[in-house]
Amino acid sequence: MTYVVKSECVDCKHTACVAVCPVDCFFELENTLVIDPDICIDCAICEPECPVDAIVSDRKLKPEESHWLDFNKEMSRVGAPVITKVKAPMEGHEDINYTDQEAFEKVSRIPFVDITDK
Ligand code: SF4
Ligand code: F3S
């Protein structure tokens, strides 16, 4: 069992979730985060931290949202950096109101690169 990041995180990334995870299983992509289901210990601490309710247990994931479970699993394997520190949300996040399908079309499959580290 695992928790899953879904559509509400896309183009938003509040990152409040990462501060509480005891096993550091959030990975960062360009415009969303994902949870590695093999590392997540199903503790549920992160769920209430997300201000846009983007995190849900896989047990409560609606059947029509199951692609997010596959996405989290798949994108935890692409070498994206682990994120453990809270940072500012993405610019313009207040105006985002995607349908699930729109979010899935817009979600990036590219690992985040912090250019300020270079
Ligand atoms: Fe981390 Fe617990 Fe959330 Fe899993 S449920 S991502 S272990 S805080
Ligand atoms: Fe995304 Fe919510 Fe975490 S918007 S980064 S899942 S706090």
Beta strands at 33-35 and 26-28: parallel, antiparallel or unpaired: antiparallel
Phi and psi of 4, rounded to 5°?
-135, 135
Going from the N-terminus, what domains does the chain have, and what CATH number goes with each?
3-87 (3.30.70.20)
Each residue's pLDDT tens digit, 3-40:
999 999 999 999 999 999 999 999 999 999 999 999 99
pLDDT at 114 over 90: no
For the entire predicted model, the pTM comes to 0.96
Each residue's pLDDT tens digit, 44-92:
999 999 999 999 999 999 999 999 999 999 999 999 999 999 999 999 9
Structure tokens at 78: 């692409």
Residue among 4, 11, 14, 29 to mutate when testing ligand 2 (max atoms within 8 A of CB):
14
Ligand nearest to the CA of 47: 1
Ligand nearest to the CA of 24: 1
Q: Is the CB of 17 under 6 A from ligand 2?
A: yes
Contact between 16 and 50 (Cβ < 8 Å): yes
Q: What is the largest CA-CA distance in the chain?
A: 41
pLDDT at 118 over 60: no
Nearest CA to ligand 1 atom 6: 40
Q: Which residue has the tokens 């997540």?
A: 40
DSSP state of 13: -
Give the pLDDT score at 117. Answer: 60
